[in-house]
Structure 1
Amino acid sequence: MNNIRALWAELFGTFWLVFGGCGSAVFAAAFPQLGIGFAGVSLAFGLTVLTMAYAVGHVSGGHFNPAVTVGLWAGGRFPARDIAPYVVFQVIGGVLGAFAVLYIAQGQEGWNLAAKGLAANGYGAHSPGHFSLAAGFVAEVLLTAFFLLIIMGSTHKLAPMGAAPIAIGLALTLIHLISIPITNTSVNPARSTGPALIMGGEAFGQLWLFWLAPLIGGALGGWIYRTLICED
């Protein structure tokens, strides 16, 4: 990565992921008569990655996620020197996306941040299904690891050409279908950081888990694919 355009691509891609995914939860899922439900939110997250992977994947690789960047490094696909700038721009994009959701949500009469939230991640009392810290940790590690396996495999030079964004987008949809009740689904520290920074309190206090677990899972998935499944 020797081009600032790659960093801008990561910023805009992560912005779109947070704005589209968290925005669907805040704007659309809350209305009984119009609500898309958690299945719709799951699909929205998958569609954000699918669309941006096609739009800017050829510029930056289409990570939009610090755990993916670390996982691709562990899998031998990304240089260590470029991890930090990618992560910085991903986090900036995620924070800007969350602020965009907040600004639009405040345009609804009676909307309240404390009551409605911004689709922040959490465990224990802040888990949608009241799952424990340990359950959330295991789920985030496992799901991020398998996400990296899918990314590594679908982008391999011997994989079908042009199909990777579809596989990756559907994988993220499936991940959300599994884990929205557990942690509200992170598998992406940048996605978790924006809402947590804005909401503060326990959302911010629990943010450490949604950095630690996805980074471990991403590195594990990349390493497993490279060493146990398929060498490039």
Structure 2
Amino acid sequence: MKTNILSKFFAEFLGTAVLVLMGCGSAVIAGPNGTTGVGLLGIAFAFGLSVVAMAYAIGHISGCHINPAITIGMVIVGRMKTGEGIIYIIAQIAGAITGAGLLLLIASGKEGYSIVANGLGQNGYGLSSPGHYSLQAGFIAEAIFTFIFLLVVFGATSTKNIYGSFAGIAIGLSLVLIHIVGIPVTGVSVNPARSIGPALLSGATAIDQLWLFIVAPIAGSVFCAITWRYIFAED
């Protein structure tokens, strides 16, 4: 049975909301300054496991992009139409904002929580970078990490990949790997929607720096899609 576009919209909306709530939530609620202190490795796995969980929950409905960079890449390589891609991106951004809103509601339930001091897991560079990395370092990291992430996505979901049933695991673990290396640099975006949600609610510097976490992942996505289409093309 063919899945209708409304089902795909809500699947992408829900999947992205879960990614932001659980991924960013691991940093805000259970991170180094949280109750359980899962640390950098725990945060990295929270993002990756969110993708794995959603891949098997909604993958059969929408493909589980939950990331505008992936959707843009899929349009470029010819795996989806532009109109459908736009609907996906709208759903992803709406889902990310909803996920960030839910996280704020939960985090605010703890006495002493301040969105200014504790944030919502937003991305940043310079003084807003976890490791105080520069704008240039942040841009290069986000573009390259997105390229690597999309390369895994294209390969894992290829019709010629005999291990296709494990695509969700491969994609999720690649995101874990990227976070282990990239969290100190920018907090890791590689997903414009994931950055937009927390930034809009956090305001101030997060919004001022948001452009990088939209432009760099899209640049990495476009470069990877072109590379895949003209160098690793399936046809």
Report the TM range for the smaller structure's normalisation.
over 0.9
> 1:30 offset after TM fit, Å?
3.5
- Kept in 2: contact 1:147–1:221 (CA 8 A): no
Match of 1:216 among 210, 213, 219: 219
Amino acid at match of 2:24: C
- Kept in 2: contact 1:148–1:218 (CA 8 A): yes
1:163 aligns with 2:155: no
Tell me what 1:72 maps to. 74
Tell me what 1:152 maps to. 154
Tell me what 1:205 maps to. 208
Separation (CA, whole Å) in 2 of partners of 1:161 and 1:115: 43
TM-score normalised by length of structure 1: 0.97
Match of 2:178 among 175, 179, 182: 175
Structure 2 segments unaligned to the other structure (5+ residues): none
User: Per-residue displacement from partner, 1:5-57 (whole Å, max 9, x unpaired)?
Assistant: 00100000000100010011111014477210011000000000001011001
SS in structure 1 opposite 2:123?
coil
Structure 1 ranges of 4+ moved more than 6 A: none
- Kept in 1: contact 2:123–2:195 (CA 8 A): yes
Tell me what 2:196 maps to. 193
Map of 1:37-116 to 2, 5 A cutoff? 37-116=39-118
Structure 1 segments unaligned to the other structure (5+ residues): none
Q: How many residue pairs align between the two structures?
A: 232
TM-score normalised by length of structure 2: 0.96
> 1:229 offset after TM fit, Å?
1.9
Tell me what 2:232 maps to. 229
User: Per-residue displacement from partner, 1:55-103 (whole Å, max 9, x unpaired)?
Assistant: 0011001100000000111222121121211111100000000011100
SS in structure 2 opposite 1:162?
helix
SS in structure 1 opposite 2:168?
helix
Separation (CA, whole Å) in 1 of partners of 2:176 and 2:31: 16
RMSD: 1.3
Separation (CA, whole Å) in 2 of partners of 1:211 and 1:32: 28
